[in-house]
Structure 1
Amino acid sequence: MRSSLHIGQQIQDFTLPGGVLDGDSFERRDYTLSAARGRALILAFYPGDNTAVCTKQLCSYSSGMETFEGLDAEVWGISPQDVDSHESFARSHLLRMPLLADTGRATARAFGVAAPGIGVRRAVFLIDAEGVLRWKHVALLGATFQSLDTLAEHLSGMGNR
Structure 2
Amino acid sequence: MGTLQVGDKAPDFTLPDQTGKKVTLSEVLAEKVVVLYFYPKDNTRGCTAEACSFRDSYENFADAGAEVIGVSSDTVASHETFAGRNALPFVLLSDAGRVVRRQYGAASLGLVPGRVTFVIDRDGTVRHVFSSVLNIGPHIEEALKVVRELHAA
The C-alpha deviation readout for 1:12-36, integer Å capped at 9, x for no partner, is 21111113xxxxxxx4301111111
Deviation at 1:6, TM superposition (A): 2.0
Unpaired runs of 5+ residues, structure 2, are none
Contact 2:8 2:126 in 1 (8 A): yes
Normalising by structure 1, we get a TM-score of: 0.86
The C-alpha deviation readout for 1:8-64, integer Å capped at 9, x for no partner, is 122121111113xxxxxxx43011111112310000100000000110110111122
Give the structure 1 partner of residue 111 of structure 2. 117
Distance (Å, rounded) in 2 between the aligned partners of 1:151 and 1:125 = 8
1:98 is the counterpart of 2:97? no
1:152 is the counterpart of 2:151? no
More helix by share: 2
Give the structure 1 partner of residue 52 of structure 2. 59
Unpaired runs of 5+ residues, structure 1, are 20-26
RMSD: 1.6
Q: Structure 1 residue aligned with 2:127, among 125, 128, 134? A: 134
Distance (Å, rounded) in 2 between the aligned partners of 1:36 and 1:59 = 22
Give the structure 1 partner of residue 29 of structure 2. 37
Q: Structure 1: which 4+ aligned runs deviate by more than 3 Å?
A: none
The 5 Å alignment of 1:68-79 reads 68-79=61-72
Give the structure 2 partner of residue 23 of structure 1. none
Give the structure 1 partner of residue 74 of structure 2. 81
Aligned length: 150
Normalising by structure 2, we get a TM-score of: 0.90
Give the structure 1 partner of residue 16 of structure 2. 17
